């Protein structure tokens, strides 16, 4: 029939991204390249430090290393392609490339949601159950929590991507975004997508709100415990180990909730790429900055590593 002849029409998509800022392509390229290189270098440095420094062998750093590895993958899903588009002016992505990008973006994003919850549990156990902490977060438990986060990411990626790309796309093929994000891709589907939208809102609500609920619950208990600490110094120390994580959670969940938990009609091509830019490009670079600047142990480990690799001047 005529419909089936039309459904396979779209073989590639056009990612508009920042093409409307024609005069700024070179500047944007430089800015995003710098951010990307710093993100990869900063997160890689944390992975190396935690892997090699004997002082950073606690569960907290095990999760931080996992988070840093995640951030490298997460930002690499979108930024190199964006750089390619800014440099060449060619903005096409094949249908399979688009599906692949969406899968990995969902995979890394969902994994991070779950990992941030595991990190909150770690802080809860350290502050509220210090005597049972080695038992509650043994190496095996840490591996299980991290493994569950990765598994959750795979499920989310596989749950959405094949489902969306099995739907008919019969043109237009323009995505007002710099990567294949779920909402703008859904708008290009021919026919009724209300079921998909409902599925996305439910899945996201489950995925974002469950870990978020766990995080809030953990921090509720943590605050109660911190306020019971008699000394101001003790309170300050307990709170400072949580603050970095809290900042990351607020940034990551705030923008993700804004983008995903709302109907398709409220999608705004003008502002949404900016919001996406925030959580796809900016949040991953903040991770090493927030953790290393606010953390004396990471700073000390960095110093030790530099002293080992750079021979001291005589």
**Per residue in 3-18, pLDDT tens?**
444 445 788 999 988 8
pTM of the model: 0.88
Judge whether 3 lies within some domain: no
Within-domain flag for 153: yes
Whether residue 23 is contained in a domain is answered as: yes
C-alpha span between 182 and 107 (Å, rounded): 12
Residues 6+ apart with CB under 8 A from 171: 9, 10
Q: Measured between alpha carbons, how far is 253 from 74 in angstroms, rounded to an integer? A: 15
d(C-alpha 269, C-alpha 18), whole Å? 11
Mean pLDDT, all residues of the chain: 86
Q: What angle do CA 36, 188, 72 make, to 5 degrees?
A: 20
- CATH assignment at residue 18: 1.20.1070.10
Tell me what pLDDT residue 121 has: 93
Within a domain: 309? no
The answer as to whether 257 is a domain residue is yes
As a whole number of angstroms, the distance between CA 105 and CA 78 comes to 8
**Residue 303 within any structural domain of the chain:** no
CA distance 221 to 208: 20
Tell me the H-state helices in the chain: 2-7, 25-52, 59-88, 95-128, 133-136, 139-165, 182-186, 194-228, 232-260, 272-277, 283-293, 296-309
Query: Whole-angstrom Cα distance, residue 173 to residue 190?
Result: 11
Question: Is 4 part of any domain?
Answer: no
137 vs 252 pLDDT, higher one: 137
Return d(Cα 182, Cα 164) in angstroms, integer.
8
Per-residue pLDDT band at 252 (split at 50, 70, 90) = confident
Rg for the chain (alpha carbons), in Å? 22
In this predicted structure, which of 71-75, 188-192, 221-225 has the lowest mean pLDDT?
188-192
Q: How many domains does the chain have?
A: 1
Task: Note whether residue 300 is domain-resident.
Answer: no
Tell me the residue range of the domain where 225 lies. 12-295
pLDDT attached to residue 6: 46
Asked which of 13-17, 207-211, 223-227 is least confident by mean pLDDT, the reply is 207-211
List CB contacts of 189: < 8 A, sequence separation 6 or more: 164, 167, 168, 169, 196
Task: Judge whether residue 312 has pLDDT over 50.
Answer: yes
């Amino acid at each position: 029939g005529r419909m089936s002849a039309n459904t396979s029409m779209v073989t590639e998509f056009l990612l508009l991204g920042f093409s409307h800022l024609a005069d700024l392509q070179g500047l944007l390229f430089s800015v995003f390249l710098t951010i990307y290189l710093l993100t990869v270098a900063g997160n890689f440095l944390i992975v190396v430090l935690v892997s090699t420094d004997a002082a950073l062998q606690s569960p907290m750093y095990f999760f931080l290393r996992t988070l840093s590895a995640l951030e490298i993958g997460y930002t690499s899903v979108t930024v190199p392609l964006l750089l390619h588009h800014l440099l060449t002016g060619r903005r096409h992505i094949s249908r399979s490339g688009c599906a692949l990008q969406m899968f990995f973006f969902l995979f890394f994003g969902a994994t991070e949601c779950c990992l941030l919850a595991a990190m909150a549990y770690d802080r809860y156990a350290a502050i509220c159950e210090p005597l049972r902490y080695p038992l509650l977060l043994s190496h095996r438990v840490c591996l299980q929590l991290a493994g569950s986060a990765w598994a959750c990411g795979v499920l989310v990626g596989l749950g959405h991507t094949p489902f969306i790309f099995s739907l008919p796309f019969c043109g237009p093929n323009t995505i007002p975004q710099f990567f294949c994000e779920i909402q703008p891709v859904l708008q290009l589907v021919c026919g009724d997508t209300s079921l998909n939208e409902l599925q996305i809102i439910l899945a996201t609500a489950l995925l974002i709100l469950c870990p978020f609920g766990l995080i809030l619950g953990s921090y509720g208990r943590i605050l109660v415990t911190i306020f019971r600490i008699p000394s101001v110094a003790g309170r300050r120390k307990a709170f400072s180990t949580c603050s970095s994580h809290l900042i990351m959670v607020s940034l990551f969940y705030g923008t993700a909730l804004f983008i995903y938990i709302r109907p398709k009609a409220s999608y705004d091509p003008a502002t949404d790429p900016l919001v996406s830019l925030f959580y796809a490009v900016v949040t991953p670079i903040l991770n090493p900055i927030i953790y290393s600047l606010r953390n004396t142990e990471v700073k000390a480990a960095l110093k030790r590593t530099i002293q080992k690799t750079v021979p001291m001047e005589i």
